Amino acid sequence: MRIACLALVLAATLPACAQETTVRIRSARPFGYFVGDLIHARVDVSAPADAVLSRASLPNPGPLTGSLDLRDVKLSETSENGAHLWRLDLTYQNFYVALDARDIEIPGFELSISTATGARTIAVPAWRIGVSPLREVAPRKQEQASDYLRPDGSSAFVNEATPLNLAFASGAAALLALLLVARDRAWPPFQQRKARIFSALAREISTRRSADDATLAATIQSVHRGLDRANGPILLSGDLPEFLRRHPEFKPLRSDFEQFFETSKRLFFGGESSMDDDCAAEQLAQFVSKLARQERSG
């Protein structure tokens, strides 16, 4: 009999627990606010899972008291432990000019919810925060009126010599770099600099590296035209000693010149050679690259 009675009591209390609502108020800090400060608070309201909040019951931004405004209200909803949770992020602004440290009250408000059992009202209670004065009410007595003023702060000495020297050095380095680029690209006033024929030729043939006869022949012809421009008249194999005498920067490449003329003779005049086309194309590219390096050093 007692067990049956206990079961009835528990059955009667379970719906009441399920219908319980809770309110939690948390603020960024409970004290230390000055006039004009924003006060951020979070209110968590927990209600039964089937509860629906009436948004019309939310507090409206605006003046609450003569020295406190509600600036912003943000609402988010979620579920927690089988209950419906509403989270209100409230932003207030304090306009109370405090003469000493004291607490002021943040007014409470009511929220309306609807459940299966009907409409209900949830009271969010008022809460308090501590405000502080901007200055003391009465300063300590001083002998002279000027003693009530704080002395002017000393200005920091800024040495402008180092930044100025760095600016001049950076400008000089930039100008030198520009001159080097202008000389390399033959921009004015270096437009009379001797054209770098083989450097341009190396960039040209690097885009057509192939071992087929047509491409190899076109590349050899391009090298011949480049040698002709460097020499003035057409450069034949028999003119090589005179060319190297007039252009001593290319003397270290004498054997490469001879190999080039041999490859050209084999391709255009059917001369015999044990070198295949793959090897010839590779050696030709290396030869032009060497010419470009010697040209830049010369």
**CATH code, domain with 36:** 2.60.40
126 and 22 in a common domain: yes
206 and 119 in a common domain: no
**Given this model, what pLDDT does residue 268 score?**
78
To the nearest 10 degrees (0 to 180), the angle between helices 197-205 and 277-297 is 150
Q: Which domain holds residue 100?
A: 18-131
Note whether residue 125 is domain-resident. yes
pTM of the model: 0.44
Burial string for 110-141 (b: 16+ CB within 10 Å, else e) reads: ebebebeeeeeebebeebebebeeeeeeeeee
Note whether residue 159 is domain-resident. no
Note whether residue 34 is domain-resident. yes
**Given this model, what pLDDT does residue 66 score?**
92
Burial string for 230-263 (b: 16+ CB within 10 Å, else e) reads: bbeeebeeeebeebbeeeeebeebeebbebbbeb
Residue 92: which pLDDT band, with cuts at 50, 70 and 90?
very high
**Given this model, what pLDDT does residue 109 score?**
95
Judge whether residue 10 has pLDDT over 50. no
126 and 23 in a common domain: yes
127 and 34 in a common domain: yes
Judge whether residue 4 has pLDDT over 50. no
- 130 vs 214, residue with greater confidence: 130
Note whether residue 106 is domain-resident. yes
Note whether residue 182 is domain-resident. no
**Given this model, what pLDDT does residue 278 score?**
66
Q: Note the pLDDT tens digit of each residue in 37-82.
A: 999 999 999 999 889 999 999 999 999 999 999 999 999 999 888 8
- 15 vs 209, residue with greater confidence: 209
Report how many domains make up the chain: 2
- 296 vs 52, residue with greater confidence: 52
Tokens of 22: 């809770």
Domain closes at, from 131, 150, 173: 131
- 230 vs 171, residue with greater confidence: 171
Q: Note the pLDDT tens digit of each residue in 125-152.
A: 999 999 999 887 777 788 888 877 877 7
Note whether residue 168 is domain-resident. no
Residue 27 pairs in a beta bridge with 41
Residue 192: which pLDDT band, with cuts at 50, 70 and 90?
low
- Mention every residue, 6+ apart, whose C-beta is less than 8 A from residue 228: 234, 235
120 and 214 in a common domain: no
Residue 109 pairs in a beta bridge with 124
Note whether residue 223 is domain-resident. yes
Domain closes at, from 87, 115, 131: 131
Judge whether residue 6 has pLDDT over 50. no
Residue 90: which pLDDT band, with cuts at 50, 70 and 90?
very high
Cis peptide before 248 (omega within 30 of 0): no
Which of 142-151, 162-171, 174-183, 239-248 shows the lowest per-residue confidence on average (mean pLDDT)?
142-151
Note whether residue 292 is domain-resident. yes
What is the percent of the chain with per-residue pLDDT over 90, rounded to a whole number? Answer: 36
**Given this model, what pLDDT does residue 183 score?**
74
